[in-house]
Structure 1
């Protein structure tokens, strides 16, 4: 079944002809970029990565290396989500404003360079989650080829491993703003605190985590297997994360869960 999906994906990409891939360097967009280049050839694909306040610098460097490895033209554009009207207020439409702003930046580049379509890494799993960015994609006629053929994350990881992509087991990632509780204004200072805290925890050997921000509280989410490590180093972790500007540091016993901030939304 997974190979049937792959063949259908290739067919759909051929119909799109010359494409721009919104490329974050994550599991899904890397797989999409790889298949696009293999199917269309590098001359008909352009990867664009948005460098902004919500995108960690180490992720940008990884994206550059991945694009080089895949052998595709890669353009990094400077953007600012915090400058987009409505974004910093951080209501439930935050991701809509983000994607809308991104596509407005990418469309002129696509038209200028002679590409015909924009695609991004939406997948079938996203249909069961709150994804307001998908609304912006529909408004701008941006396609999600992986979702269209019902590719799921585990299938993408499986094929990514087969293709030799180093992202096959990369932890899931979302923009830094997703760590800040809805209704709490997003600022550069808060984004910096989150990035520093997560880089520090990563340095302890924790691969999958989130540092959720609730005003002065840092709520750490890790997978159950890593909780013992956090507790063993609780004093050091508390002092370090407090030094970044938090007053309280907590461990969420529910463990890591993608999109956990959405629990407060009554949708």
Structure 2
């Protein structure tokens, strides 16, 4: 398998443990790249919606794959989000090549990049967490309904359809919220002199220069693996939004050993963390 070499890959809003998570597609993506650094920008595991009866094999394979990548020398930085906020009590912890932080600043080829999930700018979460969680349950139900709608469409040979995207794009309040979110974050990045600001949270992939009277910055949002199947990639001093549905390398699938492992073996594999191994030339 020929893998694309990257300096940095950024994914967010995977929501492992929910019906909306598309773990198989994400696993395919992770197997198609050879990255030096992988930034998990929040809401990777959905602790808000977690249920003991639902954590299928493809979701476990993602955890196993991340551990394998770290073992092979990939630096993995887990930035906490609101759906996995319980991990914030472990912020600053490093185990092997995996670290947990609440935010991150990197120097990339002479430019500064500011990474965070973005929920800190969500008023509904800051002032009424119960309301945000209620909205999360409603969103999850819509995704659940959409899952079976697309199952039928695929068997009829038709394109997938996103009910949640249709609802969000058709509600003026939602559009205004997204625009305000992007502006507030970009203005703050400009004020603090960051060349790039990289976030997630709103499930809206985007790459755009944002400008005000004080300067400009590049706003980057990694989107999600529930509706859009997107990531951010940095290579050759450039950022780009990756779209899984537009990838010409879609035939690549998960490693066969991961694909064929049963539930017991997967659980055993992710609970035994091996020390870092250097790649052989």
Q: TM bucket by the smaller chain?
A: 0.3 to 0.5
* TM-score, normalised with respect to structure 1: 0.33
* TM-score, normalised with respect to structure 2: 0.32
Q: Looking at both structures, which has the greater relative contact order when contacts are Cα pairs under 8 Å and sequence separation is at least 6? A: 2
